[in-house]
Homo-oligomer: A and B are copies of this chain.
Amino acid sequence: MNPNSCGHYDPSAKDMQQLCISLVPIFNHLQPEEMKEIAATTKSARYERNGQIYGAGDRSAHLYIVHRGRVKLYRLSESGKEQLIRILEPGDFMGELALFSETVLDCYAVAMEKTELCTIQRSDLQEILMKYPAISLKIMEEFSRRLEQTEKQVSSLTSADAEGRIAAYLVQLAKKVDAHVHTITLPMTKKDLASYLGTTPETLSRKLAEFQERGFIEQTRQRDIRVLNIEALSAMRTK
Binding site for B on A (CB under 8 A): 75, 77-79, 81, 83, 85, 96-97, 99-101, 103, 126, 129-131, 133-134, 136-137, 139-141, 143-148, 150-151, 153-155, 157-159, 195, 198, 237-239
Contacts and interface: CB of A to CB of B under 8 A. Distances in A.
A225 to B, nearest CB: 23
A35 to B, nearest CB: 18
B153 A77 contact: no
A130 B126 contact: no
Given A136-B140, A154-B154, 16 more contacts: A75-B155, A78-B159, A79-B238, A85-B155, A96-B140, A96-B144, A97-B144, A99-B144, A100-B144, A126-B137, A136-B136, A143-B144, A143-B147, A150-B150, A153-B154, A157-B158
A204 to B, nearest CB: 13
Contact of A155 (B79, B83, B238): B83
Contacts of A158: 83, 157, 195, 198
18 contacts: A77-B155, A77-B159, A78-B237, A78-B239, A81-B239, A85-B155, A100-B137, A100-B140, A101-B144, A103-B148, A126-B137, A130-B134, A130-B137, A140-B140, A140-B143, A146-B147, A147-B150, A158-B195
A210 B170 CA distance: 40
Contact of A157 (B129, B140, B198): B198
Contacts of A85: 151, 154-155
SS class, residues of chain A in contact with chain B: helix
A148 B100 CA distance: 12
B101 A145 contact: yes
